[in-house]
Protein backbone atom coordinates (compact mmCIF):
# COMPACT_ATOMS: atom_id res chain seq x y z
CA UNK A 1 0.00 0.00 0.00
CA UNK A 2 1.40 3.39 -1.00
CA UNK A 3 1.61 6.19 1.54
CA UNK A 4 -0.27 8.59 -0.69
CA UNK A 5 -1.83 9.05 -4.05
CA UNK A 6 -2.47 11.94 -6.38
CA UNK A 7 -6.01 12.59 -7.62
CA UNK A 8 -7.64 15.39 -9.56
CA UNK A 9 -8.62 17.35 -6.47
CA UNK A 10 -5.21 17.14 -4.78
CA UNK A 11 -3.14 14.67 -2.85
CA UNK A 12 -4.66 12.30 -0.34
CA UNK A 13 -3.10 9.87 2.12
CA UNK A 14 -4.49 6.56 3.32
CA UNK A 15 -5.62 6.96 6.93
CA UNK A 16 -7.92 3.97 7.48
CA UNK A 17 -7.97 0.65 5.64
CA UNK A 18 -11.20 -0.90 4.39
CA UNK A 19 -11.04 -3.39 7.27
CA UNK A 20 -10.78 -0.58 9.81
CA UNK A 21 -13.64 1.34 8.23
CA UNK A 22 -15.92 -1.70 8.38
CA UNK A 23 -15.00 -2.19 12.04
CA UNK A 24 -15.76 1.47 12.75
CA UNK A 25 -19.17 1.32 11.05
CA UNK A 26 -20.14 -1.86 12.91
CA UNK A 27 -19.03 -0.27 16.18
CA UNK A 28 -21.02 2.87 15.42
CA UNK A 29 -24.23 0.96 14.62
CA UNK A 30 -23.99 -1.37 17.62
CA UNK A 31 -23.12 1.52 19.97
CA UNK A 32 -26.09 3.66 19.02
CA UNK A 33 -28.42 0.65 19.09
CA UNK A 34 -27.22 -0.13 22.61
CA UNK A 35 -27.75 3.47 23.68
CA UNK A 36 -31.22 3.62 22.12
CA UNK A 37 -32.45 0.34 23.59
CA UNK A 38 -30.73 0.88 26.94
CA UNK A 39 -32.21 4.34 27.54
CA UNK A 40 -35.67 3.07 28.65
CA UNK A 41 -34.05 0.90 31.32
CA UNK A 42 -31.73 3.59 32.64
CA UNK A 43 -34.38 6.33 32.53
CA UNK A 44 -37.75 4.51 32.77
CA UNK A 45 -39.67 7.60 33.92
CA UNK A 46 -38.55 9.73 30.97
CA UNK A 47 -41.29 10.52 28.41
CA UNK A 48 -38.81 9.56 25.69
CA UNK A 49 -38.59 6.02 27.03
CA UNK A 50 -42.20 5.19 26.10
CA UNK A 51 -41.60 6.50 22.60
CA UNK A 52 -38.45 4.41 22.19
CA UNK A 53 -40.17 1.24 23.40
CA UNK A 54 -43.04 1.78 20.94
CA UNK A 55 -40.55 2.58 18.16
CA UNK A 56 -38.69 -0.71 18.53
CA UNK A 57 -41.84 -2.81 18.87
CA UNK A 58 -42.33 -3.26 22.61
CA UNK A 59 -40.26 -3.89 25.69
CA UNK A 60 -39.55 -7.52 24.83
CA UNK A 61 -38.24 -6.52 21.41
CA UNK A 62 -36.19 -3.77 23.07
CA UNK A 63 -34.45 -6.40 25.17
CA UNK A 64 -33.84 -8.64 22.18
CA UNK A 65 -32.36 -5.78 20.15
CA UNK A 66 -30.18 -4.72 23.09
CA UNK A 67 -28.77 -8.23 23.49
CA UNK A 68 -28.27 -8.57 19.74
CA UNK A 69 -26.31 -5.31 19.62
CA UNK A 70 -24.32 -6.44 22.67
CA UNK A 71 -23.45 -9.70 20.91
CA UNK A 72 -22.23 -7.73 17.88
CA UNK A 73 -20.09 -5.53 20.15
CA UNK A 74 -18.57 -8.57 21.88
CA UNK A 75 -17.74 -10.27 18.57
CA UNK A 76 -16.31 -7.04 17.16
CA UNK A 77 -14.16 -6.51 20.26
CA UNK A 78 -12.72 -10.01 20.02
CA UNK A 79 -12.06 -9.58 16.31
CA UNK A 80 -10.43 -6.18 16.86
CA UNK A 81 -8.03 -7.57 19.46
CA UNK A 82 -7.06 -10.39 17.08
CA UNK A 83 -6.68 -7.92 14.21
CA UNK A 84 -4.47 -5.55 16.20
CA UNK A 85 -2.22 -8.32 17.52
CA UNK A 86 -1.99 -10.72 14.60
CA UNK A 87 -1.62 -8.44 11.56
CA UNK A 88 1.43 -6.40 10.67
CA UNK A 89 -0.62 -3.26 10.04
CA UNK A 90 -2.57 -3.76 13.27
CA UNK A 91 0.62 -4.02 15.31
CA UNK A 92 2.00 -0.86 13.70
CA UNK A 93 -1.23 0.93 14.60
CA UNK A 94 -1.02 -0.36 18.15
CA UNK A 95 2.52 0.99 18.49
CA UNK A 96 1.39 4.36 17.13
CA UNK A 97 -1.50 4.46 19.62
CA UNK A 98 0.70 3.66 22.62
CA UNK A 99 0.72 6.58 25.09
CA UNK A 100 4.07 8.09 26.02
CA UNK A 101 5.50 11.02 27.97
CA UNK A 102 5.49 13.18 24.85
CA UNK A 103 1.68 13.02 24.89
CA UNK A 104 1.68 14.58 28.34
CA UNK A 105 3.96 17.32 27.08
CA UNK A 106 1.64 17.88 24.10
CA UNK A 107 -1.38 18.17 26.39
CA UNK A 108 0.39 20.79 28.51
CA UNK A 109 1.52 22.68 25.40
CA UNK A 110 -2.01 22.62 24.03
CA UNK A 111 -3.31 24.21 27.22
CA UNK A 112 -0.59 26.84 26.96
CA UNK A 113 -1.62 27.52 23.36
CA UNK A 114 -5.27 27.92 24.36
CA UNK A 115 -4.40 30.57 26.96
CA UNK A 116 -1.95 32.38 24.66
CA UNK A 117 1.32 31.24 26.22
CA UNK A 118 2.49 29.49 23.03
CA UNK A 119 2.31 30.91 19.50
CA UNK A 120 1.24 27.64 17.84
CA UNK A 121 -0.23 24.23 18.61
CA UNK A 122 2.07 21.30 19.40
CA UNK A 123 3.10 19.18 16.42
CA UNK A 124 1.36 15.80 16.37
CA UNK A 125 2.44 12.52 14.79
CA UNK A 126 0.08 9.87 13.39
CA UNK A 127 -2.09 10.03 16.51
CA UNK A 128 -2.40 12.96 18.88
CA UNK A 129 -2.87 12.53 22.62
CA UNK A 130 -6.58 13.22 22.06
CA UNK A 131 -6.96 10.36 19.58
CA UNK A 132 -4.97 8.02 21.82
CA UNK A 133 -7.17 8.90 24.79
CA UNK A 134 -10.31 8.29 22.72
CA UNK A 135 -9.06 4.88 21.62
CA UNK A 136 -8.20 3.86 25.17
CA UNK A 137 -11.56 5.17 26.37
CA UNK A 138 -13.39 3.05 23.80
CA UNK A 139 -11.33 -0.01 24.72
CA UNK A 140 -11.82 0.48 28.46
CA UNK A 141 -15.48 1.42 28.12
CA UNK A 142 -16.25 -1.58 25.92
CA UNK A 143 -14.57 -3.94 28.40
CA UNK A 144 -16.53 -2.48 31.32
CA UNK A 145 -19.83 -2.57 29.43
CA UNK A 146 -19.28 -6.14 28.25
CA UNK A 147 -18.35 -7.50 31.69
CA UNK A 148 -21.13 -5.73 33.58
CA UNK A 149 -23.63 -6.49 30.80
CA UNK A 150 -22.85 -10.21 30.87
CA UNK A 151 -23.27 -10.28 34.64
CA UNK A 152 -26.79 -8.85 34.26
CA UNK A 153 -27.62 -10.89 31.16
CA UNK A 154 -26.80 -14.14 32.97
CA UNK A 155 -27.77 -12.97 36.43
CA UNK A 156 -28.98 -16.39 37.64
CA UNK A 157 -25.64 -17.97 36.83
CA UNK A 158 -23.80 -14.93 38.20
CA UNK A 159 -25.57 -15.12 41.57
CA UNK A 160 -24.43 -18.71 41.98
CA UNK A 161 -20.85 -17.46 42.05
CA UNK A 162 -21.23 -13.87 43.25
CA UNK A 163 -23.16 -12.05 45.98
CA UNK A 164 -26.15 -9.96 44.92
CA UNK A 165 -24.42 -6.69 45.74
CA UNK A 166 -21.95 -7.35 42.93
CA UNK A 167 -24.81 -7.41 40.42
CA UNK A 168 -26.27 -4.24 41.96
CA UNK A 169 -22.92 -2.48 41.54
CA UNK A 170 -22.59 -3.86 38.01
CA UNK A 171 -25.99 -2.40 37.10
CA UNK A 172 -24.99 1.06 38.39
CA UNK A 173 -21.63 0.94 36.61
CA UNK A 174 -23.27 -0.25 33.38
CA UNK A 175 -25.80 2.58 33.40
CA UNK A 176 -23.40 5.40 34.22
CA UNK A 177 -20.70 4.14 31.87
CA UNK A 178 -23.28 4.10 29.08
CA UNK A 179 -24.23 7.72 29.79
CA UNK A 180 -20.56 8.73 29.98
CA UNK A 181 -19.77 6.96 26.69
CA UNK A 182 -22.72 8.59 24.92
CA UNK A 183 -21.73 12.07 26.09
CA UNK A 184 -18.09 11.46 25.18
CA UNK A 185 -19.08 10.47 21.63
CA UNK A 186 -21.56 13.31 21.11
CA UNK A 187 -19.47 16.07 22.69
CA UNK A 188 -15.82 15.03 22.45
CA UNK A 189 -15.57 12.72 19.45
CA UNK A 190 -18.02 14.52 17.18
CA UNK A 191 -16.26 17.84 17.70
CA UNK A 192 -12.73 16.62 17.07
CA UNK A 193 -13.67 14.41 14.11
CA UNK A 194 -16.49 16.34 12.45
CA UNK A 195 -17.08 19.81 13.90
CA UNK A 196 -13.43 20.80 14.21
CA UNK A 197 -12.89 23.83 11.90
CA UNK A 198 -10.06 21.95 10.17
CA UNK A 199 -12.43 19.21 8.92
CA UNK A 200 -15.89 20.82 9.14
CA UNK A 201 -18.55 19.83 8.21
CA UNK A 202 -17.33 16.24 8.41
CA UNK A 203 -14.20 14.18 8.08
CA UNK A 204 -14.62 11.62 5.32
CA UNK A 205 -11.88 9.33 6.62
CA UNK A 206 -14.42 6.88 8.05
CA UNK A 207 -16.07 6.65 4.61
CA UNK A 208 -13.21 6.45 2.09
CA UNK A 209 -10.20 6.09 4.38
CA UNK A 210 -8.36 9.09 2.92
CA UNK A 211 -7.09 12.29 4.51
CA UNK A 212 -6.22 15.37 2.50
CA UNK A 213 -2.73 16.82 2.31
CA UNK A 214 -3.98 19.98 4.03
CA UNK A 215 -5.31 17.95 6.95
CA UNK A 216 -2.06 15.99 7.14
CA UNK A 217 -0.03 19.20 7.29
CA UNK A 218 -2.33 20.72 9.89
CA UNK A 219 -3.29 17.78 12.10
CA UNK A 220 -0.37 15.34 11.67
CA UNK A 221 2.65 17.39 10.61
CA UNK A 222 5.23 14.98 12.04
CA UNK A 223 3.80 12.04 10.13
CA UNK A 224 3.55 14.20 7.00
CA UNK A 225 7.21 15.21 7.28
CA UNK A 226 8.24 11.58 7.79
CA UNK A 227 6.33 10.48 4.68
CA UNK A 228 7.92 13.22 2.57
CA UNK A 229 11.38 12.29 3.83
CA UNK A 230 10.77 8.63 3.03
CA UNK A 231 9.64 9.55 -0.46
CA UNK A 232 12.63 11.84 -0.98
CA UNK A 233 15.01 9.08 0.15
CA UNK A 234 13.31 6.62 -2.16
CA UNK A 235 13.54 9.05 -5.09
CA UNK A 236 17.24 9.56 -4.35
CA UNK A 237 17.79 5.80 -4.32
CA UNK A 238 15.95 5.45 -7.63
CA UNK A 239 18.14 8.16 -9.14
CA UNK A 240 21.32 6.38 -8.02
CA UNK A 241 20.07 3.02 -9.31
CA UNK A 242 19.08 4.55 -12.64
CA UNK A 243 22.46 6.23 -13.00
CA UNK A 244 24.27 2.95 -12.33
CA UNK A 245 21.98 0.97 -14.62
CA UNK A 246 20.66 -1.23 -11.83
CA UNK A 247 16.99 -2.30 -11.91
CA UNK A 248 15.19 -2.29 -8.60
CA UNK A 249 12.73 -5.10 -7.88
CA UNK A 250 10.32 -4.31 -5.00
Host H or E run for residue 242 = helix 221-244
Answer yes or no: is pLDDT of 6 > 50. no
**Residue 231's pLDDT is what?**
85
84-136: pLDDT as tens digits: 999 999 999 999 999 999 999 999 999 999 999 999 989 999 999 999 999 99
Answer yes or no: is pLDDT of 4 > 60. no
Residue 8 maps to a domain: no
**Residue 7's pLDDT is what?**
40
Domain range enclosing 34: 17-97
Residue 63 maps to a domain: yes
Residue 4 maps to a domain: no
Confidence class for position 249, pLDDT limits 50, 70, 90: low
Share of the chain above pLDDT 90, in %: 69
Could you give the residue ranges of the DSSP H alpha helices within 115-220?
Answer: 129-153, 155-161, 164-183, 190, 205-208, 213-219
Cβ proximity of 112 and 209 under 8 Å? no
Answer yes or no: is pLDDT of 1 > 50. no
- For 162, other C-beta atoms within 10 Å of its C-beta total 13
**Residue 11's pLDDT is what?**
86
Our count of domains for the chain comes to 1
Confidence class for position 187, pLDDT limits 50, 70, 90: confident
Cis peptide upstream of residue 246 (ω within 30 degrees of 0): no
**Residue 198's pLDDT is what?**
76
| Best mean pLDDT range from 121-125, 232-236, 242-246 | 121-125
Residue 87 maps to a domain: yes
Residue 93 maps to a domain: yes
User: Of 229, 210, 200, which is closest to residue 1 (Cα–Cα)?
Assistant: 210
Mean pLDDT value across residues 59-80: 96
Residue 138 maps to a domain: no
Answer yes or no: is pLDDT of 228 > 80. yes
d(CA 22, CA 155): 32
Residue 189 maps to a domain: no
Residue 47 maps to a domain: yes
Amino acid sequence: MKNGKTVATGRYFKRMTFNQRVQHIILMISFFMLVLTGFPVTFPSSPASDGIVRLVGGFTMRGALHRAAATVLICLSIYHVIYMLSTRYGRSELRALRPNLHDLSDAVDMLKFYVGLLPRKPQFDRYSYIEKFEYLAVAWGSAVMIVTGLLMWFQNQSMILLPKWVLDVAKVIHSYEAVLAFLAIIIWHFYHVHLNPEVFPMSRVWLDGNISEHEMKTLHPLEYARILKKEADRAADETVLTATGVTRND
